[in-house]
Amino acid sequence: MKVDIISAEIGSTTTVVNAFMGMGTKEPRFVGQGQSYTTVTQGDVTVGLKRAFDDLRQKLKTEQLEYDAFYATSSAAGGLKMTVHGLVHDMTVKAAKEAALGAGANIKFITSGKLRRTDLKRIREIEPNIILLAGGVDYGERDTALYNAELLVQQEALKDTPVIYAGNCQNKEEIELIFEETKRQVYIVDNVYPKIDMLNVVPTRRKIQEVFEEHITKAPGMEKVRELVNASIMPTPGAVMKATQLLEQAIGDLVVVDVGGATTDVHSVTLGSEEIARILIHPEPMAKRTVEGDLGVYVNVHNVINLVSRDELERRMKISQDALDGLIAHYKPIPETDLERALIRHLTLEASTTAIKRHAGKIRYLYGPSGKKAIAEGKDLTNVKYVIGTGGALTRLEGVEILQNMLKGKGDELLPSQDVQILVDRLYIMASLGVMSKKYPQEALTLLLQSIDMIG
């Protein structure tokens, strides 16, 4: 059997392989899906990838499965590890952080101002895939970014780490010279924060994804994946963001909640309401992603259990302490019994609720001589029309009900209203379609709308 495209999503706990036909036509089709455990701990993610491929082949009842193009997304082996360095935390640093997160990065370290010896030590220990350097509005402060660049190129341990510069445009020639003289690699893009209260994150996001794909073979456990893939590779969260933006163009303002084994990511594409915009004290990007590294339902499951508390889980599930202890002691990434599924449902709800509240902004009140004044901080989700669930947990375990409960108990957070339309990526293909949309945007959109049941 031959298909047009195989697209693999290599996650922290599971690896999924999707097959598609009809690409380049008006009737693209999802053919089938294979799944296996991700084999990061074995030092070779292609073991799990081949098992997922074999599972797909068995489901399609074919001994041989050929394809024209092989795409992949990955968040395994740490995904896209980045460090971000800017000037002022609430300005250039925040803009650089938004650019990196939107590209699918797992940000390990953030600094503002001039780098110190302890900062450099931390960067060396992290061994980032990419370093993002920013600082200064255009024609503003120059020295900090140049100082930081000089320090970074002196780090022998980082000599093969690509650096992206997205700061004051006046520094471009100086930055080029600093890196050229030391024979180090640097990519220069437009400033992420060119003017006060103005974000320009799209050029940096694009460059991060380009550099990630170019240097993917240097990421632990991913060398052999590059050998298998003959098309694009993207960080999984970046692919989900790309799919989210594609959907927004078709259906309007939306939020996508992606509960994974290691993290829970929230992606939103919305400008918010005019009412909130008038009292917003800092600019927010239209497309925003947050990643909660403590909220995975497998790798970080004990963090989520502690958030709920064992007593509360016993009460909700109507089971004894011994029964809960047994479930936790033999916890599996893919549940097999009704009780195991019930436990993951409760943990997924807690992870989703906590993550979207962290993603959303809040209304705060200031008191002064003229009385009480309302201000808004963070991302405004009040204009969102759709909340969509993706990731293994939400696509396999009553995701609509979980997301409905997630939106209960709204306080001062700028959350979507409870009457938004809730949908689920039931085929679990959102990340795969995100990476494929670079070449097949219309086909990817058609398949996305089918997966969330907006077209038959």
CA distance 173 to 320: 67
Buried b (16+ CB within 10 A) or exposed e, 345-378: bbbbbbbbbbbbbebbbbbeeeeeeeeeeeebeb
Q: In the chain, where are the structural domains located?
A: 2-77+222-228, 80-218, 236-451
Give the pLDDT score at 102.
84
Task: Give the distance, in angstroms, between the CA of residue 146 and the centroid of all CA atoms in the same chain.
Answer: 30
Cα distances (angstroms) measured from residue 397 to each of 69, 219, 338: 31, 32, 11
CA distance 449 to 456: 8
Contact between 423 and 433 under an 8 Å Cβ cutoff? The reply is no
Residue 97, sorted as left (phi over 0), alpha (psi -120 to 50) or beta, turns out to be alpha
The answer regarding whether domain 2-77+222-228 maps to CATH 3.20.20.220 reads no
Do the strands 386-390 and 264-269 form a parallel or antiparallel pair, or are they unpaired?
unpaired
Confidence at residue 225, expressed as pLDDT on a 0 to 100 scale: 77
CA nearest neighbour of 383 among 271, 232, 261? 271
pTM of the full structure: 0.87
For each successive 10 residues of the chain (456 residues), what is the average pLDDT?
A: 94 90 95 89 80 95 94 77 93 91 87 97 94 96 96 94 96 96 93 93 91 66 75 89 96 96 92 93 92 86 92 94 93 87 95 95 88 91 97 90 88 89 96 95 97 86
Residue 192: per-residue pLDDT: 96
Distance of CA 416 to the CA centre of its chain: 20
For residue 204, the model assigns a pLDDT of 95
Domain at 80-218, CATH class: alpha beta
Q: Which of 131, 2, 120, 118 is nearest to 60 (CA)?
A: 2
Read off the tokens for 393.
């947990």
Q: What is the pLDDT of residue 173?
A: 96
Report the candidate in 432, 77, 98 with the shortest Cα–Cα distance to residue 290. 98
For 289, list phi and psi in degrees, rounded to 5.
-130, 140
Q: Torsion-angle region of residue 364: left (phi > 0), alpha (psi -120 to 50) or beta?
A: beta
3-state secondary structure the chain: CEEEEEEEEECCCEEEEEEEECCCCCCCEEEEEEEEECCHHHCCHHHHHHHHHHHHHHHCCCCCCEEEEEEEEECCCCCEEEEEEECCHHHHHHHHHHHHHHCCEEEEEEEECCCCHHHHHHHHHHCCCEEEECCCCCCCCCHHHHHHHHHHHCCHHHCCCCEEECCCHHHHHHHHHHHHHCCCCEEECCCCCCECCECCCHHHHHHHHHHHHHCHHHCCCCHHHHHHCCCCEEEHHHHHHHHHHHHHHHHCCEEEEEECCCCEEEEEECCCCHHHHCCECCCCCCEEEEEECCCCCCCCHHHHHHHHCHHHHHHHHCCCHHHHHHHHHCCCCCCCCHHHHHHHHHHHHHHHHHHHHHHECEEEEEEECCEEEEEEECECCCCCCEEEEECHHHHHCCHHHHHHHHCCCCCCECCCCCCCEEEECCCCCHHHHHHHCCCCHHHHHHHHHHHCCCCC
pLDDT at 222: 67
Q: Answer for the pair 426, 453: CB distance below 8 angstroms, yes or no.
A: yes
